[in-house]
């Protein structure tokens, strides 16, 4: 496999019992790309992401992430990934500083280095908070940005964000995407799953999934031209609408 890909999958498949959550997925993601996973709930986005992170073992097929095979080297892959799940997963009963200390600890990042990075990231995401503030007292939009800060502590080349903007208001979503853009400019590869079609416009390339299968795989502009849609919303309804009838 070619090492220039950040991610490359070959017929990646996950079966739960007799339900095929992801069916023969073939994607290639280049370094520095913002790559979108779009689809309705249950389309297989989260399952695909979890396989790429090493959280789930593929039923069949192959996936190389950052040059490592997910079946063999999941630990090496985990070092290269910053991950944010769709559920808020910091500790509400710890302060911001304690959460940062914990995540820097489990990624074995020296505390001082982690603190420096955290300060930079907090500035980038626009959070100006004392380290002593309890995480549980923050509004959801702040928590999501803080979770991103924690996911960046070990300076991973690959960021995987599973529906990072669900439940966040439109203004905060926009701000979040600005951050994602500047991270991509710094050279990070970013996978974002979302069911907000307007967010697809921010992606360099995207796939639309339905019942575990990849329907299309292209840049937003090429897709709109190809299907003659004015925006992604229209395109999505055209392609995946059957699910929402």
Partner 1 sequence: MNRRIPAIMLKEVNHILRDSRTLMIVILMPIMQLVIFGYAMNMEIRGIRIGVYDYRDSALSRELVHKFAATESFQISYPQKPIGEMNRYFYQRAFHAFLIIPADFDHTMVRQNQAEVQLIIDASDPNAATMIQNYSFAVVNMFNDAERLLPIRVKTNILYNPDLKSAYFFVPGLIAMILVMISALLTSIAISKEKELGTMEQILVSPIKAHEIIIGKVLPYILLALIDAMLVLLIGKYLFKVPFVGSFPVFLAFTMLYVIVALSLGLLISTIARSQQAAMMMAITMTMLPTMMLSGFMFPIASMPKALQLITRFVPARYYLQIIRGIMLKGNGFAQLMQPGLALILMAAVLLILAIKRFSLRLK
Where do contacts with partner 1 occur on this chain (CB under 8 A)?
A: 50, 53-57, 74-76, 78-79, 81, 83, 85, 87-91, 93-94, 98, 101-108
Give the closest residue to 45 by CA, choosing from 232, 193, 241, 244. Answer: 193
What phi and psi values does residue 129 have, to the nearest 5 degrees?
-130, 150
C-alpha–C-alpha distance, residues 211 and 94, integer Å: 39
SS3 72: coil
Provide, rounded to whole angstroms, the least separation between the CB of residue 101 and partner 1. Answer: 7
Provide, rounded to whole angstroms, the least separation between the CB of residue 67 and partner 1. Answer: 15
| Residue 136 token pair | 């549980």
Query: C-alpha distances in angstroms, 20 versus 47, 75, 110?
Result: 10, 26, 42
Q: Based on CB atoms, which residue is closest to partner 1, 160 or 197?
A: 160
Q: Based on CB atoms, which residue is closest to partner 1, 57 or 123?
A: 57
Q: Based on CB atoms, which residue is closest to partner 1, 94 or 175?
A: 94
Provide, rounded to whole angstroms, the least separation between the CB of residue 91 and partner 1. Answer: 6
SS3 231: coil
Q: Based on CB atoms, which residue is closest to partner 1, 72 or 106?
A: 106
Would you say 174 and 98 are in contact if contact means Cβ atoms under 8 Å apart?
A: no
Q: Based on CB atoms, which residue is closest to partner 1, 107 or 196?
A: 107
Bridge partners (DSSP) of residue 189 are: 158
C-alpha–C-alpha distance, residues 240 and 224, integer Å: 14
Provide, rounded to whole angstroms, the least separation between the CB of residue 81 and partner 1. Answer: 6
Q: Based on CB atoms, which residue is closest to partner 1, 74 or 233?
A: 74
C-alpha–C-alpha distance, residues 195 and 164, integer Å: 10
Query: How do beta strands 34-39 and 28-29 pair?
Result: unpaired
| Residue 87 token pair | 């559920």
C-alpha–C-alpha distance, residues 178 and 134, integer Å: 26
Provide, rounded to whole angstroms, the least separation between the CB of residue 45 and partner 1. Answer: 15
Provide, rounded to whole angstroms, the least separation between the CB of residue 162 and partner 1. Answer: 9
Q: Based on CB atoms, which residue is closest to partner 1, 62 or 101?
A: 101
Provide, rounded to whole angstroms, the least separation between the CB of residue 159 and partner 1. Answer: 12
């Amino acid at each position: 496999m070619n090492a220039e890909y950040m991610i490359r999958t070959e017929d990646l498949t996950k079966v739960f019992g007799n339900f095929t959550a992801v069916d023969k997925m073939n994607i290639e993601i280049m370094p520095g790309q913002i790559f979108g996973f779009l689809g309705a709930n249950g389309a297989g986005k989260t399952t695909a992401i979890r396989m790429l992170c090493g959280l789930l073992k593929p039923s069949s097929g192959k996936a190389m992430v950052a040059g490592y095979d997910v079946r063999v080297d999941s630990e090496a892959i985990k070092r290269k990934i910053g991950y944010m799940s769709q559920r808020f997963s910091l500790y509400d009963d710890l302060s911001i500083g304690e959460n940062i200390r914990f995540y820097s600890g489990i990624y074995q990042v020296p505390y001082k280095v982690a603190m420096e990075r955290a300060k930079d990231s907090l500035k980038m995401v626009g959070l100006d908070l004392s380290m002593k503030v309890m995480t549980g007292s923050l509004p959801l939009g702040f928590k999501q940005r803080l979770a991103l800060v924690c996911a960046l502590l070990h300076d991973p080349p690959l960021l995987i964000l599973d529906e990072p903007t669900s439940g966040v208001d439109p203004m905060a979503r926009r701000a979040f995407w600005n951050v994602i853009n500047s991270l991509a400019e710094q050279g990070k590869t970013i996978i974002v799953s979302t069911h907000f079609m307007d967010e697809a416009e921010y992606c360099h390339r995207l796939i639309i999934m339905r019942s575990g299968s990849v329907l299309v795989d292209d840049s937003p502009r090429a897709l709109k031209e190809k299907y003659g849609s004015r925006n992604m919303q229209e395109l999505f309804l055209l392609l995946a609408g059957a699910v929402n009838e």
